[in-house]
């Protein structure tokens, strides 16, 4: 069934909304359950297709997986031995399946994972993951589009320096190291809050880790770990997306559970553009009462501005009077939304990884196609302020990473529906 989202522009957003659990923390935490037999509980799990697909992969490996959607809870029962082959069909549906490599290799000494490949936003190589796991003693070869990973004996901790800042690469290495023999020191580690959350979950399992959130992480390997009962951090990208929606519609909302400490660079851009942000006990109050000012921004690894906010911020700049610039430094092809925004009347010029946006006074509704996850959110945001109706197809991308975004926006006053 092909679905689309229809947005009628013009409504201002008011009220309060709960921020869901973070996709990019939840997926590696689900993979981490493979590090210990027994029953794990994960709370504040967002209702996303990526979570469902990883659940199916865990089932294929031999785990019991159940997701109680209305309680945002999953239970994963990991047996003592697993079937260590992942089907091409499931792995191809989700690039993040690469985070299974570290846990399977360190605990079971073997794993066959279809090569995750690239996607719409870039080639996304995983050479750094492979180099890091090899440094711990694994042998990893590519055989007919599959990664065949083996460790003849227990992995051994060592000092590993990443050449490129990689989020899932750092996560894979951390998960491999928690059961390796001796100490692993990770230099030039990524510092994203989702990595800190994964380490916290691993600590609940008994792992010995220090330094997460900095670029040097030290891990003392343990002989075994125990099951976790863990609550996932709130999604800083979903919270940022909703904050941009408020900025664009000149509204005022409370983002319940949103954590300002994780959102520094995004909030900084919004404040520079003229948005007011107040931290309150229940979350973040975001208010916009004035015309926005142009911004000059560039994405970067954390604590820099998240590439996962780039498309949404571009939607915001399309109608800010003056010239804004957005540089995408992480992915070589993350401007798929530009062509679609242009269909809505946006004036955007791109040269390589730089987009120059000349704000227009109004966008107009159009039929547009979401080319990737964050592009889908960007087009919904543009639809909120466009004159008339915007129809967005390619909604399967949205469902990968946003839990009921259209319901949340509708509860704040947006005119938005999902149509089949
Ligand atoms: N890179 C390499 N070689 C490697 C690893 C990475 O060249 O071995 C490059 C990538 O191609 C990219 C850059 O380094 O250009 C950063 O990639 P990274 O490995 O950090 O990305 P990731 O771990 O695959 C995670 C998120 C992405 C998010 C990026 C950057 C998960 C499951 N995914 O991907 O999330 O954009 O970090 O912050 O955590 C999204 O949620 O929309 C999304 C794409």
What is the set of domains in the chain, with CATH numbers? 4-20+234-419 (3.65.10.10), 23-231 (3.65.10.10)
Measured distance CA(42)–CA(260) in Å, rounded: 23
pLDDT in tens, 285-342: 999 999 999 999 999 999 999 999 999 999 999 999 999 999 999 999 999 999 999 9
Q: Is the pLDDT of residue 27 over 90?
A: yes
Of the ranges 140-149, 188-197, 304-313, 352-361, which one carries the lowest mean pLDDT score?
140-149
Checking if the pLDDT of 117 tops 90, the result is no
pLDDT of residue 34 exceeding 90, the answer is yes
Q: What is the pLDDT of residue 260?
A: 97
Across the range 156-163, mean pLDDT stands at 98
> Is pLDDT larger for residue 93 or for residue 26?
26
Residue 312 in tokens: 């949404």
For residue 119, is pLDDT > 90? no
Pocket test for ligand 1, best of 99, 167, 194 (most atoms within 8 A of CB): 167
Query: 332 CA to middle of ligand 1, Å?
Result: 12
> Distance (Å, rounded) from C-alpha 372 to C-alpha 290?
31
pLDDT score recorded for residue 128: 97
Tell me the C-alpha distance between 103 and 107, whole Å: 6
Q: How far apart are CA 120 and CA 290, in angstroms?
A: 36
Distance CA 399, CA 267 (A): 25
Percent of the chain with pLDDT over 90: 92
Ligand 1 binding pocket includes 46 (Cβ within 6 Å): no
**Are 252 and 288 within 8 A, CB to CB?**
yes
Q: Which DSSP category does 84 fall into? A: -
Answer whether 46's CB lies under 8 Å from 71's CB. Answer: no
The number of angstroms, rounded, from the C-alpha of 240 to the middle of its chain's C-alpha atoms is 12
By CB atoms closer than 10 A (0-12, 13-18, 19+), residue 70 is exposed
Atom number in ligand 1 closest to CA 130 = 8
Distance, in Å, from the CA atom of 220 to the CA atom of 214, rounded to the nearest integer, reads 17
Pocket test for ligand 1, best of 120, 160, 169 (most atoms within 8 A of CB): 169
Residue of minimum CA distance from atom 28 in ligand 1:
308
Q: Which residue carries 């390619």 as its tokens? A: 394
Per DSSP, helices labelled H in 33-135 are 49-61, 88-92, 101-108, 127-135
Are 377 and 311 within 8 A, CB to CB?
A: yes
- Residue 343: closest CA among 320, 367, 321, 361: 367
Global confidence as pTM: 0.98
- Contact predicate 132/172, CB 8 Å: yes
Please identify which residue in the block is written with the tokens 């909604």.
Answer: 395
The answer, yes or no, to whether residue 60 has pLDDT greater than 90, is yes
């Amino acid at each position: 069934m092909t679905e689309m989202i229809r947005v009628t522009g013009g409504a201002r957003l008011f009220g309060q909304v709960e921020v869901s659990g973070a996709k990019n923390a939840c997926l590696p935490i689900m993979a981490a359950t493979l590090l210990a037999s027994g029953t794990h509980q994960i709370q504040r799990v967002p209702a996303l297709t990526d979570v469902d697909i990883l659940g199916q992969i865990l089932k294929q490996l031999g785990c019991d997986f159940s997701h109680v959607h209305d309680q945002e809870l999953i239970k994963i029962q990991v047996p003592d031995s697993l079937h260590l082959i992942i089907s091409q069909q499931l792995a191809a549906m989700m690039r993040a399946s690469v985070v299974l490599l570290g846990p399977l290799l360190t605990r079971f000494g073997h794993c066959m994972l279809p090569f995750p490949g690239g996607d719409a936003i870039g080639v996304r190589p995983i050479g750094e993951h492979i180099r890091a796991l090899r440094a711990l003693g694994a042998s990893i070869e590519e055989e007919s589009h599959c990664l065949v990973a083996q460790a003849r004996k227990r992995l051994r901790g060592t000092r590993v320096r990443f050449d490129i800042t990689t989020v899932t690469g750092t996560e894979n290495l951390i998960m491999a190291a928690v059961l390796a023999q001796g100490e692993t020191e990770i230099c030039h580690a990524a510092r994203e809050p989702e990595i800190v959350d994964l380490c916290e979950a691993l600590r609940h399992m008994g792992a010995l880790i220090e330094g997460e959130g900095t670029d040097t992480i030290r891990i003392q390997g343990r002989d075994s770990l125990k099951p976790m009962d863990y609550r996932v951090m709130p999604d800083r990208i979903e919270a940022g997306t909703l904050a941009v929606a408020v900025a664009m519609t000149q509204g005022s909302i409370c983002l319940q559970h949103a954590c300002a400490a994780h959102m520094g660079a995004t909030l900084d851009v919004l404040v520079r553009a003229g948005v007011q942000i107040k931290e309150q006990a229940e979350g973040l109050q975001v208010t916009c009462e004035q015309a926005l000012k142009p911004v000059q921004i560039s994405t970067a690894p954390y604590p820099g501005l998240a590439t996962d906010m780039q498309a949404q911020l571009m939607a915001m700049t399309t109608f800010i009077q003056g010239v804004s610039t957005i540089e995408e430094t992480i992915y070589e092809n993350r401007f798929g939304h530009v062509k679609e925004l242009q269909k809505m009347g946006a004036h955007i010029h791109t040269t390589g990884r730089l987009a120059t946006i000349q704000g227009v006074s109004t966008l107009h509704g159009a039929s547009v196609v979401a080319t990737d996850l964050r592009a889908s959110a960007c087009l919904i945001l543009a639809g909120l302020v466009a004159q008339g109706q915007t129809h967005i197809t390619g909604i399967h991308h949205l469902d990968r990473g946003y839990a009921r975004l259209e319901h949340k926006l509708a509860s704040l006053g947006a005119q938005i529906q999902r149509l089949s």
